[in-house]
């Protein structure tokens, strides 16, 4: 949700900035812009639309070769995505250029105050208020860092700010509250960015900024203080992946590449987390076992695809641990006065680790004395930092806006947590845990097997390219898989799609079934007799009403054959593990359909990868 980069060093700043923006375009693509300082003056270029528009503008009207620059790619909140509303914003005295990620909640009052002082605003944005405030402070004689601290003290809401002052061509100053910012530490050059992907080409040494901190960056120094100017602690870390992981490697879309990375992503998530005897070791879970034994309720809190991963996990966690487990949409959580006590364990799932709704939910949970475990894919992000413990998913960078490997690895990590809780609490026999762990460890080649057999799904996308609506049915853990299949179609193929629990169909949704409507059905393994047979009946019900059925069932399941217009076979796994194989064809179906429709799969309209505003 907005990508930010700043650079100071010997390279040509505009080139570094534009390259960084391209790598962060998944965060927002409504408009883009950059600012440099040339001969004591700010130079700005900004354009509505994708970074390609900005690049064309730079070709047409080049910027000077400078050694300092800041750039921004926007996901609009306040003000439409126009050239004028694009960042950077400049103070009236033309000294400050500012980029911002987040929402300044009290901007209207501040704007009125500034207008009363004779300041004229150019844009409709909340960001310009901060640019003008900085301009006023430096005009009074404050240096840029002092000005930033003063201004941050006046702002309410969520913000990452990066500013340059035309009188100081050697330094940029940034600040953060509730929105992400990392510093990239190079040799004789330094970076700030929303995401390490922006500077991974140049350095893998990074510093994660804490809450309410200001950082001053020159080519040779990085100085971090709190908003009062006191030196502040920093969290240096090394990025464990490299540039190639952040590039498409020959695929047409990041999403497709990430779908194909899933066997490795799941294997890496499981790696090193169990002993040869099959027992689990979650060394990173720094919560005393006695506390884990006293847990009497688990609440999983997440958004979107991560929420669906949580819905899958609930079945397994309750089954293995016998602890009641609720799953809650993070944006609803704290507004309904949830019942949380010191013995509640809150588990958050977040690929990015920056989702504002999830962050606010965990803050609320911790205020109520719950222990919070984050399951996260992004090292050093805000959500894991503010949690009591973290289990990282090790999926590598997920850049396609539609989450794929994020989902599978979240399910795998939740399963590790569920089994670990069962182990600590003695809720399962050791050999049972070892058996499930072995089965879990065996899933990556089975996911690969699914990937190797996706041709029928691709053909199906060609057949359905003009359909107006698609339904997905599942039961038990197949229900969240159905929801996820529908979400993928909505977000990248802009197609009406719904996921339903198959048994709920006759209570209303079956009225949607008409001649030719495609209905995907996830069939539980045959071992679960009752559930399997009931879903087979549900397939017959919709087929009798004219639906075109696409049936996903395990290999050897002959019972479904007569009712499947198209049959996609899944490898044999137990019911609880089926989402790890059954979700993959649905991801690919959405990717194919969106590609055929000519949509931008990696950057679907109105969306952003990391949703850092509530």
Report the C-alpha gap between 473 and 537 in whole angstroms: 12
The residues, any chain, with a CB within 8 Å of residue 25's CB and separated by 6 or more, are: 3, 32, 50, 51, 73, 603
Of residues 481-510, those binding ligand F6R (CB under 6 A): 487, 491
Q: Is 402 near ligand F6R (CB under 6 A)?
A: yes
Asked if residues 110 and 131 have their Cβ atoms less than 8 Å apart, the reply is no
Query: Please, what is the minimum distance in Å from the beta carbon of residue 407 to ligand F6R?
Result: 7
φ/ψ region of 40 (left if φ > 0, alpha if ψ in -120 to 50, else beta) reads left
Beta bridge partners of 32: 47, 73
**Which of 33, 304 has the CB closer to ligand F6R?**
304
Residue closer to ligand F6R by CB (options 54, 601) is: 601
Q: How far is CA 190 from CA 12, 176, 202, 219, in A?
A: 13, 17, 9, 5
Closest-by-Cβ residue to ligand F6R is 304
> Does 328 contact ligand F6R by CB under 6 A?
no
| Interactions with ligand F6R, residue window 329-358 (CB under 6 A) | 350-352, 355, 358
**Nearer Cβ to ligand F6R (333/548):** 333
Which residue bears the tokens 């950059």? 34
Residues 595-614 that bind ligand F6R (CB under 6 A): 611
Which residues are marked as active site?
2, 609
- Per DSSP, the three-state class of 275 is coil
Q: Does residue 303 interact with ligand F6R by CB under 6 A?
A: yes
Looking only at residues 92 through 111 of this chain, which bind ligand F6R when binding is defined by CB under 6 A?
A: none
Nearer to ligand F6R, 73 or 403 (CB): 403
Binding of residue 43 to ligand F6R (CB under 6 A): no
Instruction: Indicate which single residue of 101, 127, 129, 403 sits in contact with ligand F6R (rule: CB under 6 A).
Output: 403
Query: Could you tell me the smallest distance in angstroms from the CB atom of residue 398 to ligand F6R?
Result: 8
Residue 202 region, left (φ>0) first, then alpha (ψ -120 to 50), else beta? alpha
| Closer of 202 and 472 to ligand F6R (Cβ) | 472
Dist CA 469 CA 489 (whole Å): 10
Longest dimension (CA), the chain: 81
The full 3-state SS of 444-513, as one line of letters, equals: HHHHHHHHHCCHHHHHHHHHCCCCCEEEEEECCCHHHHHHHHHHHHHHHHCCEEEEEEHHHHHHCHHHHC
> From residue 366 to residue 395, what is the string marking binding to ligand F6R with x (rule CB under 6 A)?
------------------------------
Q: Which residues contact 62 (CB under 8 A, 6 or more apart)?
A: none
Smallest distance, ligand F6R to C-beta of residue 244, A: 22
d(CA 164, CA 153): 19
Please report how close the Cβ of residue 309 comes to ligand F6R at its closest, in angstroms: 8
Q: Which span (303-311, 425-433, 449-457, 505-513) binds ligand F6R, by CB under 6 A?
A: 303-311
Q: Which two tokens stand for residue 236?
A: 């240096």
CB of 434 to ligand F6R, least distance (A): 30
- Shortest CB 331 distance to ligand F6R, Å: 10
* Count, residues near ligand F6R per rule CB under 6 A: 15
| Contact residue for ligand F6R among 138, 266, 306, 495 (CB under 6 A) | 306
How do 205-208 and 235-238 pair as beta strands?
Answer: antiparallel
Our finding on whether 3 is near ligand F6R (CB under 6 A) is no
| Options 184, 406, 480, 585; binder of ligand F6R; rule CB under 6 A | 406
Binding site for ligand F6R (CB under 6 A): 303-306, 350-352, 355, 358, 402-403, 406, 487, 491, 611
């Amino acid at each position: 949700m907005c990508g930010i980069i700043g650079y100071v060093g010997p390279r040509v700043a505009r080139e570094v900035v534009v390259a960084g923006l391209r790598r962060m375009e998944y965060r927002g693509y409504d408009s883009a812009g950059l600012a440099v300082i040339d001969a004591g003056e700010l130079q700005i270029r900004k354009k509505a639309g994708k970074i390609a528009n900005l690049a064309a503008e730079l070709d047409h009207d080049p910027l000077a070769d400078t050694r300092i620059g800041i750039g921004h790619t926007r996901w609009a909140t306040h003000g439409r995505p126009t050239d004028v509303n694009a960042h950077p914003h400049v103070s009236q005295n033309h000294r400050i250029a500012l980029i911002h990620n987040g929402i300044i909640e009290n901007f209207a009052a501040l704007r009125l105050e500034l207008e009363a002082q004779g300041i004229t605003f150019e844009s409709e944005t909340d960001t310009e208020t901060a640019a003008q405030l900085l301009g006023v402070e430096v005009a009074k004689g404050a240096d840029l860092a002092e000005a930033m601290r003063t201004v941050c003290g006046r702002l309410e809401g969520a913000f990452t700010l990066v500013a340059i002052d035309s009188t100081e061509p050697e330094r940029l100053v940034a600040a953060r509250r509730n929105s992400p910012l990392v510093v990239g530490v190079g040799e004789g050059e330094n970076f700030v960015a929303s995401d390490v992907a922006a500077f991974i080409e140049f350095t893998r040494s990074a510093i994660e900024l804490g809450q309410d901190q200001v950082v001053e960056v020159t080519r040779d120094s990085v100085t971090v203080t709190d908003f009062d100017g006191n030196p502040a602690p920093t969290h240096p870390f090394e990025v464990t992946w490299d540039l190639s992981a952040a590039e498409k490697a020959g695929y047409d879309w990041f999403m497709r590449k990430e779908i194909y990375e899933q066997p490795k992503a799941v294997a890496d998530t499981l790696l090193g987390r169990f002993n040869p005897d099959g027992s689990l070791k979650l060394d990173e879970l720094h919560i005393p076992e006695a506390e884990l034994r006293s847990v009497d309720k688990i609440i999983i809190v997440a958004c979107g695809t991560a929420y669906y991963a949580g819905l899958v996990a609930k079945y397994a966690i309750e089954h293995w641990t016998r602890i009641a487990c609720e799953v809650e949409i993070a944006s609803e959580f704290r507004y309904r006065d949830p019942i949380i006590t010191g013995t509640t364990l809150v588990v958050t799932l977040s690929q990015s680790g920056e989702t504002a709704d999830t962050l606010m939910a965990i803050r609320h949970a911790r205020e109520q004395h719950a222990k919070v475990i984050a399951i996260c894919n992004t090292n050093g992000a805000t959500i894991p930092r503010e949690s009591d413990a973290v289990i990282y998913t090790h999926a590598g960078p997920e850049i396609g806006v539609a989450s794929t490997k994020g989902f599978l690895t979240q399910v795998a990590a939740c399963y590790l947590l569920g089994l670990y809780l069962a182990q600590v609490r003695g809720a399962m026999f050791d050999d049972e845990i070892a058996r499930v762990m072995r089965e879990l460890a065996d899933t990556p080649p089975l996911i690969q097997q699914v990937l190797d057999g996706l041709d029928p799904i691709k053909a199906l996308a060609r057949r359905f390219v003009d359909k107006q609506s698609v339904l997905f049915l599942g039961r038990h853990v197949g229900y969240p898989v159905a929801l996820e299949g529908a979400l993928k179609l909505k977000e990248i193929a802009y197609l009406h799609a719904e996921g339903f629990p198959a048994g709920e169909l006759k209570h209303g949704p079956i009225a949607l079934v008409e001649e030719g409507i495609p209905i995907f059905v996830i069939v539980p393994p045959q071992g679960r007799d009752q559930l399997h047979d009931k879903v087979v009946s549900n397939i017959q019900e919709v087929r009798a009403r004219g639906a075109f059925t696409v049936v996903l069932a395990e290999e050897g399941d002959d019972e479904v054959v007569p009712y499947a217009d198209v049959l996609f076979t899944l490898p044999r796994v137990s019911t609880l593990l089926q989402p790890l194989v059954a979700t993959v064809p649905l991801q690919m179906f959405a990717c194919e359909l969106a590609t055929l429709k000519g949509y931008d799969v990696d950057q679907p309209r109105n969306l952003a990868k990391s949703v850092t505003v509530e």
